[in-house]
Structure 1
Amino acid sequence: MSATYRALASVVMLIGFYVVALLQLAAVAALGMWLFSHTSGVVTGKLLLPLVVALGAVAVGLWKAIRTKNEPAPGLILGEREAPQLWATVRELAAAVGTRAPDEIRLVPEVNAAVGEQSRLLGLVGGRRTLYVGLPLLQAMRVDQLRSVLAHELGHYSGRHTRLGGVAYRGRLAIEGTVERISPRNPIGWVFKGYSKLYLMVDNAASRRQELEADRASVRLAGHEAATSALRTLPALDAAWAFYMRRYVEPGWSAGLAPDDLFGGFAQLLQARREEIDELRENAPEREASRWDTHPPIGVRVAAMGEAPAAEARLDDRPAWIMLADVAGAGRQLQGLVVDHGSRRILPWPEFVAESVAATVQQQADGIYRAAGRFAGTAAPGLPTVLDLVRTGRLGAFAEQFFSNATRKEAALAFAGPMETLLDNAAVRSGRARWQLSWSGPAQLVGAGGEPWDLAEIAKLAVSPETLDEALSRLAERGVDAAQATVVQARASARNADLIGGLANIKIDGREHDVLVLDNGLVLIPDPGKSSEGEKRLTEMVSAEPVGELAARHPYLPYEEITSVEVTREVPLKATLTLYDGRTVQVQELMSSEFLEKHSRDTLLRVFERIND
């Protein structure tokens, strides 16, 4: 019955949204008549225009929601030939929960499984069913765990939960689309935002009940152990996938490279770091529930599973990927369907890692080289520039900028760490060493024969004038030429940068800009558009493309080029940035300024404080 109640609640709440709109329209009409009788038509028009525009957004939101189709998500369609055991298992479980099997199974790249149904007439008439199975689940789970996941998803079908997917989807789309089109300063928007929160609270509460219902099917068909262990595996697997993408894929991706087997690499990582992932599984967070969650907390679900009736299910610890005829081939096909490589060079994993780590180390070295160039007044700096600072006893003065709480002598000794990075870069640039892939830890610097190269001791010798010659002699014995290590990127870029804030409608040197605050610089976007759409514009901008690409298309000001910041007023912000070349940049917040998130101004102020330290 919960599906019926959710249907009724979704429809009633959605109708209520537009009843609220009609009531507000009537109120605006009454206000208009009163204003027209007491003021001029011009004044009436100016006061009512924002309200009419807001109500127009309601009509647009409804129209788009009605026209939008809930199409299946992209993925690799698996037929009987590609997944014979998976199809057999799904049909068996569908019969056990008393529902019709899905019409198609799609392999997707997410750490998730889901079901969808293209129902009609507000869910009264069933439609084409799609079961989505995340490839990472097949790679990481046992057969019995995957059975529990599949039973859970098919339980949504037997509970008729997916029938209302279209209604809930269109309801959310209509309400969210309407609210997005209304300025945050428009009083009508306040009413709609409040109603949208109420709608989500009601719909999410129903969704949480449905998850608990589907969990009962999971336990009944797969048993307590398989169901609870699979549930605890999901957050651990999610964390492993995020780590994999951040540590292994993204550095090379941002350097213009792509691995030839994205999902195969994840399988290798799962195998090499099994103990770490098991530890994550055992320590899965059992956080408190929020009224905005669509799923109950893991602790609540595990407790409910413990009370649910369970079948006598035997352990099946075979890897779940045996349900596919060729899991490696399926992964490569899926990559071809869902990954847009653009102009990136596609490389096998060993070459991909070697080049991506080399590019990352070069980027780190370039930052040091540019700083050395500014300090020494050299236009084309490199490792020889830094070594000359050592020889002339000026390394401590230069290194103070990297170790703010150290004396010059302490800074010179501490520079052995950055010096090792520079020497690693020189070894690779000289063709004497390369970075070797490791799935169980960081990439290792190795020589031509695969032997480990550790330049830490030489780096310690290289930061002192008294032992510099010995360091250079040892480098020469290994065939490392310091002259080969020079700056590649003469000016800092936003590659690998993270977005930490955003401000719209900010004056930069007297001209309006949108400003994206990254962890290594500011992206300055001139003449952004209507001041009333600043927050919306920022959100759409950062959702549409990576910040590195935005920085490549717009003026970019790296923090390393700013020598000091004078903040004359914090709210609204007014500051003067002084650059190393003597230029200044004026930053001024306006009354119409808006933020990507509410702490963006404070974030920028902390950046300014860090520059001045």
Structure 2
Amino acid sequence: MRVGESAEPLALAEARARARAVLWVRNGALLAVLTAAGLLLYGASRTYGASAPGTLLAALAVALVAVLAWVALDLTLVRRTGVPAITLGPREAPELHTMVRELAEELRVPMPDGIRLCPECDSWLEPDPRRSRRTVLVIGAPFLWWLRVGELRALLAPVVAGTEASAEPAVAGARRWVRRLDAVADVRRSPAPRLLRPARRLSRAFARQLLGLCQGHAELMEREIAVGAAALAIPLEPELRATAHEQVGLAYAGWDRLLTRLAAPAWTIGRRPDALMAGVVSALTELSRRDRLADAFGARLAERPASDLLTDPIAVDGEISRLAAGIFADGPTPDPVRWADYPQAVIEPVWRARAEAFAAPVDDALAVLRRDPDEGRRKAADHLFAVVACAALDTGRMRPAVDWLDGPVLVDGAGRAVDLATLITRAVDEGNDAPLRTWLARIGVPTREPVHPGGSAA
């Protein structure tokens, strides 16, 4: 008997019941659509005097067209709502497939029909967009690069355990239905032709009503599936489970910082880091060092990283980085840039562009802030940072560099970072620009003494 077996069947039975409730909503909606179509056609036939046999045939034709349109819409929207990811076949990740297969065998559940990697901090099962009865294991790429092999196994155990519920026809059907409603109700979809917009608005309103009817059942279904899967996975890697979840939170923090502070500036100028996962590892290693956890983390970092389960981690990192840019960047896929080239290829051009937009030397920028410190304070601070940074670069004594946690920074010839952000904050938020002026004078950027409204120098 499997550990957790008593809890798992009960949870699965409850999940099936909730799935059937969702499918009752689906079947009722289909019946309502067909009934409405039949009534409209019948009313038209009575109005225009069509013969009874002709009316029946026409009603059957309308019903058939409605059913075919229903199926076609289902398939189209399920494909459209799939999370962007890359497929990892046995050739690209043989050891990862072996790990997942062994997990499924130990849990006595079906093996996922495929493995995909996505640029997100999450892992889950989803229907294969191409085949409705197949289930794909989706793994967040940051986990694969930061977790150790044992930690990844502990993290994936309850996810793989969920394949038993995913193989249930009622559960699979309910999930496809909810995904379909989400897609119809999504207001961010591409605009429809003008003639179809009223129908799209009507379908969205109908989808939202149906979501309201089945959302509670769907949420309870997923909760019961998660309970059953967790119970089934209890005996596997219990000592690593807590560590794995700690590292998941850390990975999310590092991934978020990397995207917002380093990847996003590159995307704005049409470039993209070509190794985001390597950046995640650097960011999290630096985070552990700054948090004085180096000794504890040093021990785990000596273990084998989960990325070793890939045949060519560098190539997969490049593909994930390209995919992330396609998802998050606003515009066409940017050109790749190596981290070694990032300071000159991204940081300095971004600073130069912001400084040019402000179109003011350091003294004038400070004067603007002094006159109206509350007007666009955050935006003004960003521009002032760029103006000061460019002035410092022009001295030849400072250069741009990458800080894996703080983003773009200025460093001196010895590689020491300058806390320019604090100097700018004091000048903008506190109205005290003396420390900033003192530092500028030290590196060779002359500034005028600030003049108060009365005309005397400060």
Structure 1 length normalisation: TM-score?
Answer: 0.51
> Are 2:308 and 1:351 aligned?
no
**Aligned equivalent of 2:33, options 16, 21, 35:** 21
Which residue number in structure 1 is paired with residue 451 of structure 2?
Answer: none
Deviations 1:2-42 (A, max 9, x none): 364355334322111122334555777899999x99xxxxx
C-alpha distance in 1 between matches for 2:112 and 2:371? 64
Q: Is 1:210 aligned to residue 231 of structure 2?
A: no
Q: Describe the shift of the 1:64–1:159 C-alpha distance in structure 2 as closer, same or farther (beyond 3 A).
A: closer
Which residue of 1 is the match for residue 100 of structure 2? 90
Task: After TM superposition, list the pairs within 5 Å mapping 1:21-60 onto structure 2.
Answer: 21-22=33-34
**What is the distance in 1 between the residues matched to 2:290 and 2:438?**
42
Does residue 427 (structure 1) correspond to residue 395 (structure 2)? The answer is no
Please tell me the residue identity of whatever aligns with 2:107. Answer: V
| C-alpha separation in 2, matches of 1:452 and 1:205 | 51
Q: How far apart, CA to CA, are the structure 2 residues paired with 1:200 and 1:64?
A: 20
Using the aligned pairs only, state the percent identity: 21
The alignment partner of 1:115 has SS state of strand
The structure that is helix-richer by fraction is: 2
**Superposition pairs of residues 83-482 of structure 1, within 5 angstroms:** 83-116=93-126, 118=128, 127=134, 129-161=135-167, 163=169, 166-176=172-182, 193-223=208-238, 225-231=239-245, 233-274=247-288, 318-335=304-321, 339-340=325-326, 342=332, 344-369=334-359, 382-383=360-361, 387=363, 399-403=370-374, 421-429=386-394, 431-448=396-413, 450=415, 478=444
Tell me how far 1:63 sits from its aligned partner: 3.6
Cα distance change of structure 1 residues 440 and 174 upon mapping to structure 2, 3 Å threshold: closer
Map of 2:88 onto structure 1: 77
Native 8 Å contact 1:110 1:135 kept in 2? yes
CA distance in 2, matches of 1:175, 1:397: 52
The structural deviation recorded for 1:401 is 2.3
User: Does the CA contact (< 8 Å) of 1:149 and 1:218 recur in 2?
Assistant: no
Offset at 1:245? 0.3
1:65 pairs with one of 68, 74, 77: 74
Displacement, 1:75?
0.8
The size of the alignment, in residue pairs, is 387
Residues 571-599 of structure 1 deviation map (CA, whole Å, 9 limit, x = unaligned) = xxxxxxxxxxxxxxxxxxxxxxxxxxxxx
Deviates more, 1:144-153 or 1:268-277: 268-277
Amino acid at match of 1:238: Y
Distance 1:236-1:452 versus aligned 2 partners, 3 A rule: closer
Please say if residues 146 and 320 of structure 1, whose CA atoms lie closer than 8 Å, have aligned partners that are also in contact: yes
8 Å CA contact retained: 2:254, 2:405:
no
Q: Supply the distance in 1 between the matched residues of 2:292 and 2:94 (Cα, whole angstroms).
A: 29
Distance (whole Å) between structure 1 residues aligned to residue 130 and residue 103 of structure 2: 25
Deviation by residue 1:132-183 (Cα, 9 ceiling, x = unmatched) = 3222112222333311222212211233457556523541354345556885
Q: Is the 8 A contact 1:257 1:352 kept in 2?
A: no
Q: Deviations over 1:33-68 (max 9, x none)?
A: 99x99xxxxxxxxxxxxxxxxxx9998565411455
Q: Say what the alpha-carbon RMSD is for the aligned residues.
A: 4.9
Structure 1 residues 165 and 350: CA distance shift in structure 2, 3 A = farther
Secondary structure at the aligned position of 1:437 is classed as: strand
Aligned counterpart, 1:498 = none
Query: Structure 1 residues 187, 277: CA separation in 2 closer, same or farther (over 3 Å shift)?
Result: farther
Output the TM-score relative to the length of structure 2: 0.66
* Structure 2: distance between partners of 1:138 and 1:469: 46
Contact 1:218 1:227 in 2 (8 A): no
| Partner AA of 1:357 in structure 2 | I
* Cα deviations by residue, 1:70-109 (Å, 9 ceiling, x for unpaired): 57953142425x4443233222211111134334433332
